[in-house]
Each structure stands twice: as structure tokens, then as C-alpha cells.
Structure 1
Amino acid sequence: MGVVSVWRIADWDLDVGTSDSGSIYKHQCMSCGQKSSVATTADGPDEWCLRHAERTGHTEFRGTVTTFFRSSLAQGPR
């Protein structure tokens, strides 16, 4: 008996996750590599950048935002 394959073609959706986890923010100084604390809003990391710049004179930062996604089978025909 040969190999039998069954293929199901379906459309999928990708949406921002609906769990209790929102986005996560963290910033890093590009001069010295120091990092802000992780926060659920950008306010804390933004303030950290300003305080760090005032204290060190460093002026370039990288902001990282992590957002969670959820995939699900699309409902109905497209």
C-alpha cells in the first residue's frame, strides 16, 4: 500500500494577542549598553533615557517593544 496524504487548505488570521499580557517596553543606551527596566508602558523607559542622558551625556537609545500575537483559523470564506 502506498503513502496517502490529506491536505486541508485553510486561511489563518494573525491578531494582537487578547490575553492579559500587553506590550512590553525596554530601552538601551547605544553608547554604554545600559538598559532600562522592563515596563508595560513606554513612560518608565522613556524617563530612564532622559535621566541617563542627563547623567552621562549619552544621547542615542534603542527602544524595543515586544507585542504578543495569536493565530486562529479564519471564520468563514474569504
Structure 2
Amino acid sequence: MPTTSFRDASRTAEYTPDVELRLLPWAGPGNKPCYLSSGAEHGLLADLACRIEGDQLDQADELLGHVERLLNRDGAKPDELQLLVRPLAAALRDVARVAVSRGERLPADRVHGALSPEPTSRWALTPDLFAGTQYTGECLDCGQRSSVSSSPKRVQEWALEHAEETGDRHFKAHTFQAFTAFPVNRPSPPTDGR
């Protein structure tokens, strides 16, 4: 099944300037994104979309709990883990679609996680949800760094491999988040008449 980037699809959707579209929590024919006019935000279809989004988030949370329990259990079999990959990928896709849909409907000054700009700033920052949290490891003995990874476990594996190769024993993990700048619609600051 072809994949669709919800972030890219939502940016290229055709619409009139006066109408904003809501990305719905399901795909249409050909796995294409479906949209609802923001003017219909309080109808039956909007209510159905909200309920489905809630169900998708609940199912993803339940699946995540199952995966964490399995990973924490001694003797988890590769077959058991492999069986979880498809539903985990589907849940991640659903959660990403919900995040994009909800994020696009927030007014710029209420974006969750946005760093508050200075009162005179016309720009604000928000965490880039699609980049996610990134990790890198650093050997404190020799200064060598691992490559950037979205997995903290991969950084730990690098540190163990590096320790085995070099005998170095002291490491640090760095965690960072990418941000996106966006314009904030603020009135111009008052002038003193000059």
C-alpha cells in the first residue's frame, strides 16, 4: 500500500482561501487524505471524526502498553515482536494523522508546545512533530560521537560497541528536538508618532 505524508498532503490540498480544511482520520480511495470544510466543524461528520480520532489514540496507547510490557519481559521472542510491527506502524500512522489534523486547526498563538515569542516578535517556535526527538551519543574519554538517531537504544548500542572497540568507559547521551518557526499574526507595536 503506498504511503502518504499527511503533512505534505495537507499543504497541497486544493481549497479556496476563505475555507480551511480539516484532515479527517481516515483515508479515501487510493489511500488519499480526506478533508472536511471547517464550516462543517459542528456537524455529524465532524463528531464522527472526533470519536474516531479518540478511538485511534486509545488503541495506540493500548498497543504501546502491550509493546512495552513485551519488551520489558525477559525472553521476548523475535516472532512475538515481529507480529507487533504492522499494528504498531498502523497506530503510528493514525496518531501522526491526528496530530497533523489537530495541529493545523490550532490558532498560531495557541499552538501546543509553542515557545512564547517576545511581545513584539512576529515569529514563534513549535516543536517539529515529524522530526521527533533525536539522540546522539558522545564518548567522554575520546570525544567521538555517534550518528544522530531517533532511537535512544541505538545510541546505547553504539556506546557499547565503542567501549568494546576502544576500552573507553564514559559516555553521555544528548537529546534534542527540532523546531519550526512560524509567523504570528500580531499587530504592529505602537509607535510614538515619529
Q: TM-score, normalised by structure 2?
A: 0.28
Residue number in structure 1 paired with 2:139: 29
Q: Give identity over the alignment, percent.
A: 33
2:176, 2:110 → 1: CA distance?
A: 22
For structure 2, the 5+ residue unaligned runs are 1-108, 114-125, 181-194
Amino acid at match of 1:42: P
1:10-33 Cα shifts (integer Å, max 9, x gaps): x97762736311001001100111
For structure 1, the 5+ residue unaligned runs are 1-10, 71-78
Asked if 1:44 is matched to 2:174, the reply is: no
CA contact (8 A) 1:29 1:60 kept: yes
2:128, 2:142 → 1: CA distance?
A: 36
CA contact (8 A) 1:17 1:69 kept: yes
Residue number in structure 2 paired with 1:63: 173
1:18, 1:67 → 2: CA distance?
A: 7
2:150, 2:130 → 1: CA distance?
A: 11
Asked if 1:17 is matched to 2:124, the reply is: no
Amino acid at match of 1:34: Q
Higher relative contact order (CA 8 A, sep 6+): 1
2:164, 2:112 → 1: CA distance?
A: 41
1:14, 1:62 → 2: CA distance?
A: 30
Greater share of strand: 1
Distance change (3 Å), C-alpha of 1:28 and 1:18? closer
Q: SS at the partner of 1:55?
A: helix
1:44, 1:58 → 2: CA distance?
A: 18
1:61, 1:43 → 2: CA distance?
A: 14
1:68, 1:14 → 2: CA distance?
A: 15
Q: CA deviation at 1:56?
A: 1.1
Pairwise CA RMSD of aligned residues?
Answer: 2.6
